[in-house]
Structure 1
Amino acid sequence: MTKPDVLNTDFILRDEAELRQLFAPTHDTAIKKCLNYLDKHARAFIERSPFICIGTQSSDGAADVSPRGDPPGFVKVHDDRTLLIPDRPGNNRLDTLTNIMTNGHVGLLFIVPGFDDTLRVNGTAVITRDPDLLVHMAVNDRTPTVAIAISVDEVFIHCAKAFRRSKLWSPDAQQDRGDVPSLMNIILDQTTGAPKDPEQLAKLDEDLEAEYRQTMY
């Protein structure tokens, strides 16, 4: 693992004991709130959530975080220790899925629009293509090819401080997407080079939107 060159190594923390000396002890409630199953409050949160982030690691420890989104409740509570996440069409990099196949440890962050608190779930995942499970996750008559099945180890509600600091849901904090280049512009800049003709770039943006509409599921 490489470290940023700008860091003064004299101030890098190297063990947990050194780290914890800088902070007050964990509040007892922060420990007791962690469950190893999905209670009624966790289930209610999951049923409302249309968006999650899933963190995985490869066999050599390289980290990855990927977003997943669908209508509220798209993550299915199979039972109080098992979650099912449908895998929708994407760019077929398969980063999350291949990571899970070599290192099943995952972390989930459930987000609900308008809620400042979040739900965190940690567990162990596998990839399934069981048709009896997949059929219940079809959208627009399109059944996912696979799903992520997660055996729950830890569940807890996370406090609202991060979302309140960021003002994520505040209308006053919303930024204009038009202030930065479009997705197609950025990708082409980073690869083959973006076209200089604004009309040509606009056509590429329109084509991307059309692809979104045709391949969401």
Structure 2
Amino acid sequence: MTSPTSSTSDSSPVVEGREHEGEQAVQRRTGGVRPGKGSPMFGPHLRTELAEMISEQPLVILAGVDCEARLWATVLTSEHRLVRLGDSDTVRLDALPVPGDPLRHAFDTEQACATLFLDLAAPRRVRINGRARRHGGHLELRSEQAFRNCAKYIHQRELLEPAPSRPARVLHSTALSPRQQDWIATADTFFFASNAAQHGADVNHRGGPSGFVRVADDHTLSWPDYRGNGFYMTFGNLELDQSCGLCFLDWEHGHSLHLSGIARVEWGPDPHDHTHRIVHFTVEHVVEIRDTTTLRWRSSDPTPITSPDQQEGRP
């Protein structure tokens, strides 16, 4: 199956304040539509609290398209300082995707991108969407949307001492191996990249109890959509372009699994009930990277996620 790439390959900048027709369509379906809700609410400025939060993080999730217009999500980490701030809408990331990563050369020229800064200890998350370009050994990101999300469904983790550095090893395929299927079937966290023409890329966190992602076969995944902030920025992009990318991180061993394909949202009989929204993902390309990062984490969640209802009461 070939994913639609016409909008995924579009590198037009985000237009601040412009209504997102995909988000509006989804909001109408769920009964939560109002003018300006979602993407138009967010401008490029990195407010002080956002700047302070992202400058402390050793981990950032990056999304963009490769030279074949496939959408991917990947991870950048550093044992040292990863984030350096420029002016009020510029961020320097002192890391690149590792050799063999599908986004290794995606930003050799300026391209639309999305980033997610995730504080696993607090937990907190900040998203910055815009455009990025590689300069030597770092990426320079120019913000066009900067905003903070709530902490729902973030599984807390403690950062451990780094492991010894090893060269990354890359495996390519068009289907999931049994070992990769087991990896996904036991995950409590993954990252979800989407994109739509004239609106740019986006990447966000998805979390739940271990096993919330169901593996049907070597090409098919599904997961429930838990209640969020009602902006539907990911679903809004999918309404316009089903192309997307997923990233699963092996927190204990530093490996990463990257999937590119298409997603379809199944709406249940009651769209107001989050348990009736299921996302079905069809795998088209798989990249597994062994030893993506030297950083290691272990779970430190005092109340592990067992249901979305538990998360509703979290700050």
TM over 0.5: yes
Residue type matched to 1:38 in 2? L
Q: CA deviation at 1:128?
A: 0.8
CA 1:77–1:46: 2 relative to 1, 3 Å: same
Is residue 64 from structure 1 mapped to residue 199 from structure 2 by the alignment?
no
| 3-state secondary structure, aligned to 2:283 | strand
CA 1:112–1:48: 2 relative to 1, 3 Å: farther
The answer for the alignment partner of 1:79 in structure 2 is 217
The answer for the alignment partner of 1:101 in structure 2 is 239
Q: CA deviation at 1:70?
A: 0.8
Is residue 146 from structure 1 mapped to residue 277 from structure 2 by the alignment?
yes
Residue type matched to 2:312 in 1? T
Q: CA deviation at 1:49?
A: 1.1
The answer for the alignment partner of 1:159 in structure 2 is 290
Q: CA deviation at 1:52?
A: 0.3
On the 8 A contact 1:51/1:110 being kept in 2, the answer is yes
CA 1:77–1:13: 2 relative to 1, 3 Å: closer
The answer for the alignment partner of 1:169 in structure 2 is 297
| 3-state secondary structure, aligned to 2:185 | helix
C-alpha distance in 2 between matches for 1:87 and 1:42? 22
Is residue 41 from structure 1 mapped to residue 179 from structure 2 by the alignment?
yes
Q: Which has the higher strand share?
A: 2
Alignment of 1:15-30 (within 5 A): 30=170
C-alpha distance in 1 between matches for 2:177 and 2:108? 37
- Same amino acid, percent of matched pairs: 23
Residue type matched to 1:106 in 2? C
Alignment of 1:123-142 (within 5 A): 123-129=261-267
Q: CA deviation at 1:154?
A: 0.9
Q: TM (normalized to structure 2)? A: 0.41
**CA-based RMSD:** 3.8
Q: TM (normalized to structure 1)? A: 0.57
Q: Which has the higher helix share?
A: 1
CA 1:78–1:68: 2 relative to 1, 3 Å: same
On the 8 A contact 2:222/2:280 being kept in 1, the answer is yes
The answer for the alignment partner of 1:193 in structure 2 is none
The unaligned stretches of length 5 or more in structure 1 are 7-11, 24-28, 132-141, 175-210
C-alpha distance in 2 between matches for 1:118 and 1:96? 22
CA 1:42–1:92: 2 relative to 1, 3 Å: same
Aligned length: 152
On the 8 A contact 1:64/1:96 being kept in 2, the answer is yes
CA 1:13–1:152: 2 relative to 1, 3 Å: closer
Bigger RCO (CA 8 Å, 6+ sep): 2
Q: CA deviation at 1:14?
A: 4.1
On the 8 A contact 1:50/1:111 being kept in 2, the answer is no
The unaligned stretches of length 5 or more in structure 2 are 1-12, 15-85, 91-106, 111-132, 138-168, 301-307
Residue type matched to 1:215 in 2? E
On the 8 A contact 2:223/2:278 being kept in 1, the answer is yes
C-alpha distance in 1 between matches for 2:203 and 2:268? 25
C-alpha distance in 2 between matches for 1:101 and 1:93? 13
Larger Rg: 1
On the 8 A contact 1:51/1:112 being kept in 2, the answer is no
